[in-house]
Amino acid sequence: MDLFRNFKSVTKTCYGRGSFGKLGEILEPHRSANKGFMVFLVDHYFEGKADFIACIPKQAADEIIFCSTAKEPSTKQIDGLRDDILARRGLPAGMVGIGGGNVMDVAKALSLMFTNEGSSVQYQGLNLIKKPGIYHCGVPTISGTGAEVSMTAVLTGPVKKLGLKCDWTVFDQIVLDPDLIASVPRDQWFYTGMDTYIHSVEAITGTKKNTFAEAYSEKALGMCREVFLKRERSDPKSDEFLMVASYMGGLSLTYSEVGVCHALSYGLGKVLELHHCIANCIAFDKLEDVYGDYVQEFKGMVKHLQVNIPQGLAKDWSESTIDAMAEVAYNLPHMWDHAFGPDWQKVLDRERIKGWYRRM
Amino acid sequence: MDLFRNFKSVTKTCYGRGSFGKLGEILEPHRSANKGFMVFLVDHYFEGKADFIACIPKQAADEIIFCSTAKEPSTKQIDGLRDDILARRGLPAGMVGIGGGNVMDVAKALSLMFTNEGSSVQYQGLNLIKKPGIYHCGVPTISGTGAEVSMTAVLTGPVKKLGLKCDWTVFDQIVLDPDLIASVPRDQWFYTGMDTYIHSVEAITGTKKNTFAEAYSEKALGMCREVFLKRERSDPKSDEFLMVASYMGGLSLTYSEVGVCHALSYGLGKVLELHHCIANCIAFDKLEDVYGDYVQEFKGMVKHLQVNIPQGLAKDWSESTIDAMAEVAYNLPHMWDHAFGPDWQKVLDRERIKGWYRRM
């Protein structure tokens, strides 16, 4: 039989231009729980952008907390935010994450850590969380990571970079408003959008996929082509396609896995603290021996849009840096198993991984 | 802004060959509720098919009830089943519907009527249900209607043919096992599969669609082409595609509507008691003036697969029969509004509707 998975969906989904304007109405039935206040966790990018902040349906008792995305979300950050809010205000009615994949993951993790005692470090892994979290809602303002639909909240801890992964991680509500992604800076728009392109490619080319995953991957890839090859960014359809592509790309992983690029990207993230989406682009650019025509297509998009993908990084990396990254990547067996099958150790060793890093 | 909808998803989804074998494990955590027994509502097609029945994870206290699908689900049928089970056994822990769209709708409606007092007639419409139902799980054995993901359970009542439509109608669990649809009789396989083709066409051609709905429609249509034009039915991919096409076709209606064909089909169903899926095929076959190339493509599939679409029916219909069907169809303004826009009354009157019926 196929891979057995029984996946939990986001409970409610509101898609469409203008749907951000309905957020107040959407939150209303959830406001009376616990201490009766909502926490809006907002990407620091919006700090001082008064027009945008005015659109957040904040009521008197609610809090807006600006969330730095300079680094990937960490267990320390989550524990600190949780302890601070609980000490000052008690248990919120709900969490609303407004931002990119980083903010989505912080909102998901915080929701769980409000009701599960101790440090988030002890819950990094699959199904380690003991209790459902508080109500949590995600409002993406940049599209591509698929964090709006995933069942994981990836955290960097003292030892591991690993998600809080369980059914309760999944959002209770997402609000997908294409208007919100219209003003994303161009490079970030491309790097983040490429996350859905790359994980859709990885999902569709490995051994663990099924027809359900393929359908989502193929459609996400088709929409990426519309956005990054065929249409102008100013075409209103472009933002709409990208938002749906991110959603569908995220769902393509429900019955598949990421592969070689994400494994290498985790190494770049853990050792060099490179952001996930740009790290993916740096790695994918050098993976023609694995992803063939897809890498050609990626290069075509880069050229067409005149985006900068950093080159020649490896010449500044010491052997021990490369060793460390290869070690992180090698220790992701589920990705290699998906990419190359159960006998992956016959075609992959640390030297091959180092070879890819040296090309970057 | 777009149509504002905030849609409830099926809570958990298990897709894949062999997943029916996991049903027992999936139901286990839900068995202790209420009186601690499960009701398996099974399409009468399986009555006496011992090999299939043996695969149902029935425990000692559970009941299997075979459900006739000779007629479309009715309020009387639902009320009767509910009253009988409550009188004999009390409130079940959950309902498991195993069958086609008809059985899916009965399972959804029954789940709600176990906890909402009085006759189901009083709940026909949008958001009239007062309380959540009991746990309900859907296991399709034929694909195409999309009933596995929809938020409605269509019932024929003494006055109206209208659904119990609310967030609580949506299944808590669906199990999508392509093995289960392999032995569907050929004509039924085609008629039911065409339901997803036809409502995807209607979804994508009207005025109320958005990009989210388009993405699902387009992918569902592509998979229908694989199943009904490009592959042999014996190709294992064929059943897999059809099951995912039904799921995605159902989701295409989340942000769109059905159109002319479904309106005419409701007339055929209400007045002549024709089953929904064959009625759709009879109507769609004559709608070239509305759905153009899609009707050509449909005719190509019919020819390629040598399926019988009933012809020349209208010659046996009296004027009063045609009047009655046209009246049912005309009174579905949301479908006409979607198909022709808010000024639909300028292009549509009862005479035009009768003209379509006379072609059948």
* Class level of CATH domain B12-181: alpha beta
Average pLDDT of the residues in A104-113: 98
Q: Which residues of A touch B (CB under 8 A)?
A: 1-19, 21-22, 26, 167, 173, 176, 178, 210-212, 215, 218-219, 223, 237, 240-241, 243-244, 247-248, 255
Instruction: Give the residue from A2, A151, A167, A176 with the most B CB atoms within 10 Å of its CB, the best one to mutate.
Output: A2
The minimal CB distance from B212 to the residues A4, A167, A244 is found for A244
pLDDT at A2 over 70: no
* pLDDT-based confidence at residue A161 (cuts at 50, 70, 90): confident
The minimal CB distance from B244 to the residues A4, A15, A211 is found for A211
Q: Give the domain ranges of chain A.
A: 12-181, 186-359
CB B184 within 8 A of CB B142: yes
Average pLDDT, chain A: 95
Cβ contact (<8 Å) for B9 and A6?
no
pLDDT tens readout for residues B231-251: 999 999 999 999 999 999 999
Average pLDDT of the residues in A82-106: 97
pLDDT tens readout for residues A177-225: 999 999 999 999 999 999 999 999 999 999 999 999 999 999 999 999 9
Q: What is the ipTM of this complex?
A: 0.96
Cβ contact (<8 Å) for A10 and B9?
yes
The minimal CB distance from A18 to the residues B2, B22, B240 is found for B2
What per-residue confidence (pLDDT) applies to B249?
97
Cβ contact (<8 Å) for B7 and A13?
yes
pLDDT at B1 over 60: no
pLDDT at A97 over 90: yes
pLDDT at A33 over 50: yes
The minimal CB distance from A2 to the residues B10, B13, B16 is found for B16
> Helix (H, G, I), strand (E, B), or coil: what is residue A266?
helix
What per-residue confidence (pLDDT) applies to A3?
60
Cβ contact (<8 Å) for B3 and A17?
no
CB contacts of A224 in chain B (<8 Å) are none
CB B148 within 8 A of CB B104: yes
What per-residue confidence (pLDDT) applies to B3?
60
pLDDT at B158 over 90: no
pLDDT at B192 over 50: yes
| Residue % of chain A over a pLDDT of 90 | 94
pLDDT tens readout for residues A276-328: 999 999 999 999 999 999 999 999 999 999 999 999 999 999 999 999 999 99
Secondary structure letter of residue A355 according to DSSP? H
Q: Do domains B12-181 and B186-359 have the same CATH topology?
A: no
pLDDT tens readout for residues B163-189: 999 999 999 999 999 999 999 999 999
pLDDT tens readout for residues B2-59: 467 999 999 999 999 999 999 999 999 999 999 999 999 999 999 999 999 999 999 9
pLDDT at A356 over 70: yes
pLDDT at A159 over 60: yes
CB contacts of A212 in chain B (<8 Å) are 15-16, 176, 244, 247
pLDDT tens readout for residues B74-102: 999 999 999 999 999 999 999 999 999 99
pLDDT at B161 over 90: no
Cβ contact (<8 Å) for A2 and B21?
no
Secondary structure letter of residue A74 according to DSSP? B
What per-residue confidence (pLDDT) applies to A1?
40
Q: Closest residue of A to B251, CA-based?
A: A13
pLDDT at B274 over 60: yes
Average pLDDT, chain B: 95
Least Cα separation, residue B246 to chain A (angstroms): 11
What per-residue confidence (pLDDT) applies to A157?
87
The minimal CB distance from B11 to the residues A3, A9, A215 is found for A9
Least Cα separation, residue B315 to chain A (angstroms): 43
Chain A and chain B share a number of CB contacts under 8 A equal to 115
Using CA atoms, how far apart are residues A337 and A207, in angstroms rounded to an integer? 8
CATH 1.20.1090.10 fits A186-359, yes or no: yes
Q: Closest residue of B to A212, CA-based?
A: B244
| Residue % of chain A over a pLDDT of 70 | 99
Per the structure block, which two tokens stand in for B15? 């897709």
Higher pLDDT, B67 or B71: B67
CB contacts of B4 in chain A (<8 Å) are 14, 16, 18-19, 22
| Residue % of chain B over a pLDDT of 70 | 99
Nearest CA among B99, B129, B98, B97 for reference residue B114: B129
pLDDT at B213 over 60: yes
Cβ contact (<8 Å) for B4 and A13?
no
pTM of the model: 0.96
